[in-house]
Structure 1
Amino acid sequence: MISVMRIHQLFLARVDAALKPFALTFSRYEVLTLLSFTRAGTLPMSKISARLQVHATSTTNSVDRLEKAGLVARRSHPDDRRTTLVDLTDAGRELAAQATKALNAEVFSSPDFSGIDLDSLLPHLETLRSGLEAGA
């Protein structure tokens, strides 16, 4: 278990280093990327939290910082005043695309699995993840 946790730390450090030039944390990158995957580039705050599986406070913190940077904008839902929508700006969409290219080049396309057969490793990780998520 300690090895798995250490691998997580090492990968997260690589992700953080790749995102640093874009002034993004991984959590803010996740919000931008999630919004970029939607047709309209907009989601309610509650759906962002649910889809990223994070607490609403974390989502609010990320959106606050992204809004200050001009990467997203908040607005009231036209049909439900209790709901706040988060809209991806053009600058946010462009930054998400650039950050994704950097992550793919610096982290995801070369995870340093020299000598390890990923085809045999991934099914084990998927089984572990499924089991842990079912018990959560």
Structure 2
Amino acid sequence: MALATTGRAEAVTYSVDQVLPFDPIGEARRNWELNDWRATDAMSAATSITRANQLVMARINEALAPFDLTFSRFEALALLHFTRRGSLPLGKMGDRLMVHPTSVTNAIDRLERDELVRRVPHADDRRTVLAEITDEGRRVVAKAADALADIEFGLAGLSAETLRALDDAIFTLRHDAGDFADEESR
């Protein structure tokens, strides 16, 4: 997996185009086994999940590029689109998207610059600022959602059964890690 920096210290991308003549995760597994290191299956699974995330995110971001969106900005727009009033406090957005408040601020800054959202004061709490989706934001997020559906969110080629099994396994991992409390929330 070749690293390619994009010029900023915090922005690192991973090669998705390079085709190796061998499976590097399989090679790592063999090396772990040869060295009698523990948790070989967990290492292989974690490394596979990490690599799969890189591949899926590259496909998602490619599908969103025509809309000048990243996945994080798409998620923010989708969240606002799904609300009853089309607006939420920025803090609540961070909680729902499970990201740091700075990430929400950065996403909303960019979406506001692109006129897909606007900041509005909260009607009952002067200290609270709401992000509100615009009509253009609703149009763009619907088209972007179609583009993601067209590529099956980067998972095209996996059967419905495999997708459900993968989702169930990761659901269990997330629940057991304390990502959410209510196991019945599905």
Cα-to-partner distance string for 1:27-60 (whole Å, 9 max, x where unaligned):
1001100000011101111111110011111100
Task: Tell me the TM-score normalised to structure 1 length.
Answer: 0.89
Number of aligned residue pairs:
134
- TM (norm. structure 2) is 0.66
Superimposed CA distance per residue, residues 71-110 of structure 1 (whole angstroms, 9 cap, x where no aligned partner): 0010111211100011100000000000000001113385
The within-5 A match list for 1:20-31 is 20-31=65-76
1:91 and 1:100 mapped to 2: Cα distance? 14
Instruction: State the partner residue of 1:70.
Output: 115
Letter in structure 2 aligned against 1:56: P
How many angstroms apart in 2 are the aligned matches of 1:109 and 1:60?
27
% identity of equivalent residues: 47
- Counterpart position of 2:6: none
Q: Give how far 1:134 is off.
A: 5.2
**Structure 1 residues 134 and 92: alpha-carbon distance in aligned structure 2, compared to 1, 3 A threshold:** closer
Q: Structure 1 stretches of 5 or more lacking a match?
A: none
The 5 Å alignment of 1:88-99 reads: 88-99=133-144
2:111 and 2:117 in contact (8 A); partners too: yes
Q: 2:148 aligns with which of 103, 110, 115?
A: 103
1:16 aligns with 2:87: no
Cα contact 1:77–1:84 (8 A) shared by 2? yes
CA 1:75–1:7 in 2, change beyond 3 Å: closer, same or farther?
same
Q: Could you say what the CA RMSD is over the residues aligned between the two structures, in angstroms?
A: 2.0
Q: Which has the larger radius of gyration?
A: 2
Q: 1:25 and 1:125, CA in 2 relative to 1: closer, same or farther beyond 3 A?
A: same
Distance 2:165 2:64 in 1: 30
Q: Which 4+ runs in 1 deviate beyond 4 A? A: none
Q: Is the 8 A contact 2:87 2:131 kept in 1?
A: yes
